[in-house]
Amino acid sequence: MRARFRQRDLERIVRAVRKAGIDVRRIEVSADGKLVVCADNAAHDPVDEFTEWKRRHADTIKGT
């Protein structure tokens, strides 16, 4: 049985996922041709909004 997709299809998927700001760890291909993109979420853990605000405004904040 031949694959239902081509390498360029996988390249398009990876480009689209990366453009969305997600790091691709791997792509899994099942026997029935289903593609699953496994992301590396470690780099995208949410940061506390106040901590992020303090980091951006550190030069104007006094006493913190």
Q: What is the pLDDT of residues 34-62, one digit of tens each?
A: 888 888 765 545 566 777 778 888 887 76
Please report whether residue 63 resides in a domain.
Answer: no
Please report whether residue 19 resides in a domain.
Answer: yes
Please report whether residue 16 resides in a domain.
Answer: yes
- Largest Cα separation within the chain, whole Å, is 67
Domain residues for the domain of 48 are 7-56
- For the chain, what is the domain count? 1
Q: What are phi and psi of 29, to 5 degrees?
A: -120, 120
Please report whether residue 15 resides in a domain.
Answer: yes
Please report whether residue 2 resides in a domain.
Answer: no
DSSP H/E element including 26: strand 23-29
Between residues 47 and 32, which one has the greater pLDDT?
32
The answer to whether 25 touches 17, Cβ cutoff 8 Å, is no
pTM score of the predicted model: 0.54
